Amino acid sequence: MAKNSTAPTTVPDTAWLVRGRHLGPEPEQDLRRNLIALKAAGVLDDFLELDPVEAARSTALYPRDEAADPGPSARRLFEARWRVADDVTVRAQLTTYDPESRRKAGEGVTWVLAAEAERAWDARWPSPATMFWPDSDRIAWDHETVPGVRLRTTNHLPKDDGELRRRLRDCARESWLVHVVVHEAMTPDARGRQPVTAFLPPSLRHRVVEHRAAPEQVQVADFALKRELGVGLPRGGAVVLPTVPPAPADADRFTVTNVFLDGTEPTELLGKIVEFASLPQPMPDGAEQALARLRRGWHLLTRDEELVHAQAMVTQYATALEAMTRSCDLYREAAESALAALAEATGGDGTPRPTVPEPARGDASPLALFTKAFGRFRDPNPRK
């Protein structure tokens, strides 16, 4: 099989893309309550909830566009619009999905969130996740699609070596989020157990997952990371997991040798995370479709957008009507030409005209034909 040599698609600098799972009983109800509260508080300009089937059929900007179809497993589709610094408009779309296998207990409901701003995204802006989900630890919306991993908290690596390697591999290759592994050189106190991701800018807090390796796990974790991803974990340090194995020269670029887990802000580690998140990231599997749905399947129009859309539809219909009229004119002209040709061929009464013999070919002039005709009456035995 021929290998695809095209460069991978990267996430635009205007976009914010996250995928997760909600393990609670009523994810759509949690979304509705939060959206209603934020609109009432003036945080959101507006929001909209749609049935996925109807949303695909009634796409406002691009009718009957396949990119607007969220798929057969979609449950509900939510759209929200708000403004950030300097009156920059942000549009976001969140879709909930049924799990692939309903037989697994506690699998939860998968959700996909795609947001895009009118200019390059600023990490200091509010997180789009908290525009849809309540920013509360009591609502279990912040679980990774990789089992056993959650945002907004520290995730201790599994004790089993095989499970540990599998989790690190899955997080680096299947997740839409940025993952960082921190080694606890010694068992921290209550302040040290707090996630370092809490110090990140608002838009990064829900894009970064923090893993913790226990003091005795450093060798296993270091070996697994070097084998699977080409990076190492220093004792008492941390490393940001690459999405693909890095080049040897970049293997230590996002590694920190010392992280003090005493509740203070780990400036060096936070700088590495921000730097990594600001780099062009490859588009995760399924993210390109989510961004296409946001751009080409948007329904929550402003009044100005509705006016522009109506004008575009009028222009489109006028063009189609003009093309139909032109086709009718051409058809009528062709029909009239055919009737005229038929009338000429039949004399107008439907009876075919007799065929006119063609003139003799060669040099047979009218005089020669006349002479030839009278020559038949000459005497065969003329007198002398």
User: Is-above-0.75 flag for pTM?
Assistant: yes
**pLDDT digits 0-9 by tens, 31-86:** 999 999 999 999 999 999 999 887 777 665 555 566 678 888 999 999 999 999 88
Would you mind telling me the total number of residues written for the chain in this entry? 384
User: Which of 12-26, 43-57, 229-243, 268-282 is the least confident region?
Assistant: 43-57
Instruction: Identify whether 116 is part of a domain.
Output: yes
Instruction: Identify whether 288 is part of a domain.
Output: yes
Q: What is the pLDDT of residue 350?
A: 56
Neighbour tally for 213: CB within 10 Å: 25
Report the share of the chain in percent with pLDDT over 90. Answer: 62
Q: Between helices 218-228 and 161-174, what is the axis angle to 10°?
A: 40
Determine the average pLDDT of the residues in 250-273. Answer: 94
If residue 156 lies in a helix (H) or strand (E), which one and from where to where? strand 154-156
Cα dist from 118 to 10, 86, 92, 302, 308, whole Å: 18, 11, 12, 15, 18
Sheet with 109-117: list strands edge to edge: 15-22, 109-117, 88-97, 74-84, 46-50
Instruction: Identify whether 150 is part of a domain.
Output: yes
Structure letter (DSSP) for residue 116: E
Instruction: Identify whether 205 is part of a domain.
Output: yes
Instruction: Identify whether 25 is part of a domain.
Output: yes
Identify which has the larger pLDDT, 307 or 225: 225
If residue 92 lies in a helix (H) or strand (E), which one and from where to where? strand 88-97
**pLDDT digits 0-9 by tens, 327-337:** 887 888 888 88
Instruction: Please list the alpha-helical segments (H only) found in the chain.
Output: 27-40, 52-57, 129-132, 161-174, 202-205, 218-228, 267-278, 287-296, 303-346, 366-374
Instruction: Identify whether 383 is part of a domain.
Output: no
Instruction: Identify whether 378 is part of a domain.
Output: no
Q: What is the pLDDT of residue 251?
A: 77
What is the Cα–Cα distance from 253 to 305, expressed in whole angstroms? 45
Look at residue 103 and tell me whether its pLDDT is greater than 50: no
Confidence of residue 319 (pLDDT cuts 50, 70, 90): confident
Look at residue 127 and tell me whether its pLDDT is greater than 80: yes
Please, are residues 21 and 49 in contact by the beta-carbon 8 Å criterion?
no
What is the Cα–Cα distance from 132 to 9, expressed in whole angstroms? 27
198 is written with which tokens? 């809490």
Q: Which structural domain range is residue 176 located in?
A: 15-299
Determine the average pLDDT of the residues in 11-19. Answer: 97
**pLDDT digits 0-9 by tens, 146-205:** 999 999 999 999 999 999 999 999 998 899 999 999 999 999 999 999 999 999 999 999
Q: Which of 34, 93, 47, 100 is nearest to 68 (CA)?
A: 93
Instruction: Identify whether 279 is part of a domain.
Output: yes
Q: How many domains does the chain have?
A: 1
User: Which of 35-49, 108-122, 260-274, 353-367 is the least confident region?
Assistant: 353-367
